[in-house]
Amino acid sequence: MPAEANLPADLAAIWLTFKLATITTLLLLLIGTPIAWWLARTRSAWKGPVGAVVALPIVLPPTVLGFYLLLLMGPAGVIGRFTEWAGIGLLPFTFWGLVVASVFYSMPFVVQPIQNAFEAIGEAPLEAAATLRATPLDAFFSVAVPLAKPGFITASILGFAHTVGEFGVVLMIGGNIPDKTRVVSVLIYDHVEALEYGQAHWLAGAMVAFSFLVLLALYTLNPGGRQRRFGR
């Protein structure tokens, strides 16, 4: 089959992937920033366990994470019961189910760079803000966030790119529904299964080029961030 015959499906998958990565990254910046701030500042005994939970997707097989999220969002799961009670319906095999799964899966790639950036600020700028009668909230937005800008740049790039490259989690949660849950990584697998190597090749090549450009942007815009983002 000629590559042009599948072009609409390929473009739909690319658009869905871009939409998923954008929404996931924005949500992770909103959710992950307070978590990163707490991890960077707290001396609580809960810091270790919370940090471990946040970092779990780095070492956990994506299919394992997807399996348990599928159970949680199913009709017998806590999230599934809540969404049904709220009138939203069940999330598995929907776009918003992909969003929830992607938030969990990409969380460490957003939280850790921001946490490291907050830790690198030190106490002096915040103490100086306090002597000028800045409230903790003022000091956070006017001092901490601007100084942590490199961490936010790294987190945004990594969060977006990691979501684009998902496969196991999105396949477990979303399946393979055209125009609803079929993202680029799943479509490449479909093409290979169907022996459509031409279509698989141009999509896979585009992913390689995208990955290179992401790393190039990361190393160019934030050359020091690559050494700090996982605590090195």
Distance CA 11, CA 68 (A): 31
Distance CA 109, CA 229 (A): 8
**pTM above threshold 0.85:** yes
Give tens-digit pLDDT for 186-197: 989 888 888 888
Query: Which architecture characterizes domain 3-228 according to CATH?
Result: Orthogonal Bundle (1.10)
Task: Write out the two tokens for 46.
Answer: 């809960």
Where in the chain are the domains?
Answer: 3-228
Give tens-digit pLDDT for 111-123: 999 999 999 988 8
Distances (CA, A) of 72 to 66, 82, 113, 155, 182: 10, 10, 28, 27, 21
Give the whole-number percent of the chain exceeding pLDDT 70. Answer: 92
pLDDT of residue 51: 93
> Which amino acid does the sequence have at 53?
V
**Among candidate residues 21, 3, 222, the one with its CA nearest the CA of residue 114:** 222
Per-residue pLDDT band at 222 (split at 50, 70, 90): low
Find how far residue 102's CA is from the centre of its chain.
Answer: 6
CB 102 within 8 Å of CB 20? yes
CB-based contacts of 224: which residues, under 8 Å, 6+ apart?
Answer: 150
Give tens-digit pLDDT for 31-90: 999 999 999 998 889 999 999 999 999 999 999 999 999 999 999 999 999 999 999 899
Q: Is 130 helix (H, G, I), strand (E, B) or coil?
A: helix
Find how far residue 83's CA is from the centre of its chain.
Answer: 22
